[in-house]
Amino acid sequence: MRILFTLLTLSLSLISLAEGWTVPEDKKEKNAHFKFDKTSEESGKELYYKNCFSCHGDVGKNNYVKLNPDPGDLSTSEVAKQTDGELYYKLKKGKGLMPSFENSISSDDRWKIIAYIRTFHIGYSQIVELKDETISKDQIALKITKLEGDKFQVTATKELNGKTVKVKSVELELYVKRYFGQLLVDESKATNSEGKAIFSIEKNIPANQEGKITLIAKALNYENLKALQEFEYGFKNIQPPLNQERALWNTVDKAPIWLILGFSFGLLAIGAFIGFILLQLKNLRKQK
């Protein structure tokens, strides 16, 4: 048993060593859309002790759990030299023994944990997707367009002296409208220097009865800035009504055929039998 366990952990560590932990280039450049401050660091600390402490220990104290591979202390230069985007990606996706926190920690909270870890990295300076403070949200217009395949593009523009100018660094989230709320598709993205952010939406996302979905783009760093657009996209999910089949549990007009026949036959047989007896009794007096 012990041998098996050792072999297992060994192989796991070998795999992770061999593969390293590469983060896709575009993910590396991702940055938080808010400035790390005391408040975010505080709540980041709280989140850290809830979710990360059990393996990584206190940051800077090297009291992490001895696992294979080593979870490591997060104050080291190894960690410090990685970009915010890299840390964000790893926290989100996980690998090997490190679990994925995609579902259990929200996007903002992930940034807060990073804010806390960064307080141990000397010489760190945050690159933040700061919006252009000179523009107010009323000047910006968002537009959603469909591109090739599963890609959708959100463009942020503003009118300046009669000309349309692209706006960059608008942190956007794209939602699809559902009956009770809005479902986030893809992760948040900031518009690039072209004023564009490209999202992908899975092709089989359920559409309404007409085969349409309603998309909503929301700017995280401009309050109440949003756009709404309907597209013919997704999978027209037309399921039969749940009370369609003939079944014992369904209403009487959807009773199983065999039951209708059986019941009717039974009633007829009883009626006929009684009718026959009564007829015979009626004719009794004639039998002299």
Beta bridge mates, 189 = 172
Please tell me the distance from the alpha carbon of residue 36 to that of residue 33, in angstroms, as a whole number. Answer: 9
Q: Which candidate, 213, 218, 237, 216, places its Cα nearest to that of 228?
A: 216
Beta bridge mates, 207 = 236
**What is the radius of gyration, based on Cα positions, of the chain?**
33
- Based on CB atoms, which residue is closest to other proteins, 149 or 241? 241
**Could you tell me the smallest distance in angstroms from the CB atom of residue 204 to other proteins?**
9
Q: Is 8 in the site for other proteins (CB under 8 A)?
A: no
- Based on CB atoms, which residue is closest to other proteins, 147 or 278? 278
- Based on CB atoms, which residue is closest to other proteins, 13 or 250? 250
Q: Is 238 in the site for other proteins (CB under 8 A)?
A: yes
Please tell me the distance from the alpha carbon of residue 138 to that of residue 222, in angstroms, as a whole number. Answer: 9
Query: Site for other proteins (CB under 8 A): which residue of 209, 211, 217, 231?
Result: 209
Q: Is 243 in the site for other proteins (CB under 8 A)?
A: yes
Q: Is 260 in the site for other proteins (CB under 8 A)?
A: yes
Tell me if 36 sits within 8 A of 45, measured CB to CB: no
User: Identity (one letter) of the amino acid at 92?
Assistant: K
The answer, yes or no, to whether the previous bond of 69 is cis (omega within 30 of 0) is yes
Query: Site for other proteins (CB under 8 A): which residue of 181, 193, 223, 258?
Result: 181
User: Identity (one letter) of the amino acid at 72?
Assistant: G
Q: Which candidate, 282, 151, 284, 154, places its Cα nearest to that of 216?
A: 154
Query: Site for other proteins (CB under 8 A): which residue of 24, 206, 219, 229?
Result: 206
Number of residues that bind other proteins (CB under 8 A): 53
**Could you tell me the smallest distance in angstroms from the CB atom of residue 166 to other proteins?**
30
Beta bridge mates, 164 = 159
Q: Could you say which residues in the range 10-69 bind other proteins, by CB under 8 A?
A: 50
The pair phi, psi for residue 56, each rounded to 5°, is -85, -15
Please tell me the distance from the alpha carbon of residue 51 to that of residue 48, in angstroms, as a whole number. Answer: 5
Q: Could you say which residues in the range 88-107 bind other proteins, by CB under 8 A?
A: 103
Q: Is 126 in the site for other proteins (CB under 8 A)?
A: no
Query: Site for other proteins (CB under 8 A): which residue of 66, 161, 251, 258?
Result: 251
Residues that bind other proteins (CB under 8 A): 50, 103, 175, 178-184, 205-206, 208-209, 237-239, 241-244, 247-253, 255-256, 259-260, 263-264, 266-268, 270-271, 273-275, 277-282, 284-288
